[in-house]
Amino acid sequence: MADQKKLQTIRGTVDKICSQNTIRVATKITKVHPLYRKRYGQVKHYIAHDPEGKTPVGSLVTIVACRPISKNKHWVVATATSTD
């Protein structure tokens, strides 16, 4: 019986088109300071491979972990939803 490995997925918005098949996806995390209880936001960027190259800036995407494609690119776009 072969066990299926669950793939790591992340949802975010496209904030930059880097090259022909490369996009930058931003994810926002809201944290609470442990002492002062103030909420603050942090943004983390992921470089992802877009095989079709048609994902516009501002669209909501789901990226999935894959084998390393380049030095920083080891995510691939699974689904994209345009926000027009």
Q: Provide the residue ranges of all domains of the chain, joining segments of one domain with +.
A: 9-81
pLDDT at 1 over 60: no
29-53 burial code (b ≥16 CB/10 A, e <16):
eeeeeeeeeeeeeeeeebbbbbeee
Phi, psi for residue 41 in degrees, rounded to 5: -110, 145
Give the tens place of pLDDT for each residue, 58-75: 999 999 999 999 999 999
| CATH for the stretch 9-81 | 2.40.50.140
What CA–CA distance (Å, rounded) separates 77 from 79? 6
Q: Which pLDDT belongs to residue 23?
A: 97
pLDDT at 35 over 70: yes
Share the mean pLDDT of the chain: 93
